């Protein structure tokens, strides 16, 4: 039988992400740091990756650094840029 103990929640260690997850997350944070107000990034999935996975990783990295971004997909490519405070006007009257 296992040994059972009751411990305060303050002593419970936080889970640590796996090594590859940290590396990938850091890469995406770096991608976000390379785009400015007038530049966009373009990611093309490599073999075995999906554009949906790229979008998810970008969103997680942006949330981590507190940056708002726009992510759009065109075919298999994923484009992303910093979200501006201005909205585009609708066409018409």
pLDDT of residue 17: 62
Note down the domain range covering 51: 42-85
In a domain, 24, yes or no: no
pLDDT of residue 25: 82
Count of domains for the chain: 1
φ, ψ (nearest 5 deg) of residue 34: -85, -10
Least Cα distance to 78 among 53, 36, 61, 18 occurs for 53
Who contacts 24 (Cβ-Cβ below 8 Å, separation ≥6)?
57
User: Helix 51-65 and helix 19-34: axis angle, to 10°?
Assistant: 80
Q: Mind listing the pLDDT tens digit for each residue in 27-71?
A: 999 999 998 878 999 999 999 999 999 999 999 999 988 999 999
SS3 state of residue 48: coil
pLDDT at 5 over 50: yes
In a domain, 61, yes or no: yes
With 0-12 CB in 10 A as exposed, 13-18 as middle and 19+ as buried, what is 35?
A: middle
pLDDT of residue 18: 63
Q: What is the mean pLDDT of the chain?
A: 83
In a domain, 53, yes or no: yes
Read off the pTM: 0.67
**Block residue for tokens 């073999």:** 47
Who contacts 6 (Cβ-Cβ below 8 Å, separation ≥6)?
none
In a domain, 65, yes or no: yes
């Amino acid at each position: 039988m296992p040994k059972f103990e009751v411990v305060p929640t303050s002593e419970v260690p936080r889970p640590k992400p796996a090594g590859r997850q940290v590396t990938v997350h850091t890469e995406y944070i770096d991608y976000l740091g390379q785009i400015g107000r007038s530049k966009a990034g373009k990611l093309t999935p490599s073999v075995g990756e999906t554009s949906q996975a790229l979008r998810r990783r970008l969103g997680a990295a942006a949330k981590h650094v507190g940056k708002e971004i726009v992510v759009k997909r065109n075919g298999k490519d994923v484009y992303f840029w910093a979200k501006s405070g201005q909205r585009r006007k609708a066409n018409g009257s």
